[in-house]
Amino acid sequence: MAVNEEKKKFESKIKPEWLKIANTLGEALPYMRKFAGETFVIKFGGNAMGSPELAKKFANDVVILKQCGINPIIVHGGGPQISAMLEKLKIQSQFIQGLRVTDAESVAIAEMVLSGSINKEIVSNINAAGGLAVGMSGKDGSLINARKIRRTMKDPDSNIEKILDLGFVGEPVKINPEVLVSFEESNIIPVIAPIGIGENGETFNINADTAAGAIASAIAASKLILLTDVPGVMNDDGELINKMAIKDARKMITDRVATGGMIPKLETCISAVEHNVEAAHILDGRIPHVVLLEIFTEHGTGTMIY
């Protein structure tokens, strides 16, 4: 009788949140074992980058992944920050098909913002959380060899296709992942600014999703994770799709269910999964700890494309 009373007294002191944490860790264990030794390429961008609180939580999550034996590689964006700096310097921007026309002056500003302030802030947050992060751009170690992006547009009057000149906006043509392999062996977390180098030494600004997808494919990453400002991929009824095959993702584009900025994200995920990546995830970066919730829980939070 006394033993039962002592047991009840002890259980009454256990707070419900403690049990919740313990249950969560128990649920996460199989996934920790499954992904130990694997490499995840995570694109960090959107509103999460603009929120100091979310940015610090993201840094904590990255360190947790590393502690679980996963090798995270971070690729970050910075479009709003580049726009703010160009506006501050009174440099006007022109956009064509959602891409910023980038002249020599603008690409220098983009490199300064991406490789400088943004990159170092993410590195600092990860290091403050107990990790060992090193910042770099795609120019370092010739990681991202790039070329000028090619886009065409039909003239509404003549119906003739015209080649668009977007300046120093680039796309990856070759990834040299040797430097990333050496970082992995050194227990370092790379944080990469999406700046590439051309065959003649030109500097190119590259879409962060595209850069992350190309890196993930080149190193045969287990996962490509894109953090964005939407819950994931939605169906016709506005409901979240938790899992979808490549063929279904393609159909969403051709049937115009996917629109706007979701189209290039789906295209990046499709290309990655077709080229060595096991699965791609589109997650809402506005949700605290969204990466951990997607990777270490059965239900997940966003859309996985396989």
Chain centroid to Cα 251, Å, comes to 23
Q: pLDDT per residue over 262-296, tens digit each?
A: 888 999 999 999 999 999 999 999 999 999 988 88
What predicted TM-score, i.e. pTM, was given to this entire model?
0.87
Q: Which residue has the higher pLDDT, 82 or 17?
A: 82
d(C-alpha 80, C-alpha 236), whole Å: 30
Closest CA to 197 of 216, 178, 175: 175
Mean pLDDT of 134-157: 83
283 three-class SS: strand
Q: Which two tokens stand for residue 95?
A: 């956009």
Q: Left if phi > 0, otherwise alpha if psi is -120 to 50, otherwise beta: which for 78?
A: left
d(C-alpha 229, C-alpha 231), whole Å: 7
| pLDDT-based confidence at residue 241 (cuts at 50, 70, 90) | confident
Question: Structural domains in the chain?
Answer: 38-305 (3.40.1160.10)
Mean pLDDT of 94-122: 83
| pLDDT-based confidence at residue 2 (cuts at 50, 70, 90) | low
DSSP state at residue 131: -
d(C-alpha 122, C-alpha 174), whole Å: 25
CA angle 300–40–32, rounded 5-degree value: 60
| pLDDT-based confidence at residue 225 (cuts at 50, 70, 90) | very high
Mean pLDDT of 230-234: 85
| pLDDT-based confidence at residue 259 (cuts at 50, 70, 90) | confident
Whether residue 249 contacts residue 196, with contact meaning beta carbons closer than 8 Å, is answered with no
> Does residue 6 surpass a pLDDT of 60?
no
Counts of helices then strands in the chain (DSSP H, E):
12, 16
Whether residue 281 contacts residue 42, with contact meaning beta carbons closer than 8 Å, is answered with no
Q: Which residue has the higher pLDDT, 143 or 94?
A: 143
Whether residue 44 contacts residue 285, with contact meaning beta carbons closer than 8 Å, is answered with yes
Mean pLDDT of 53-58: 94
Amino acid code (one letter) for 200? N
What is the pLDDT at residue 118? Answer: 93
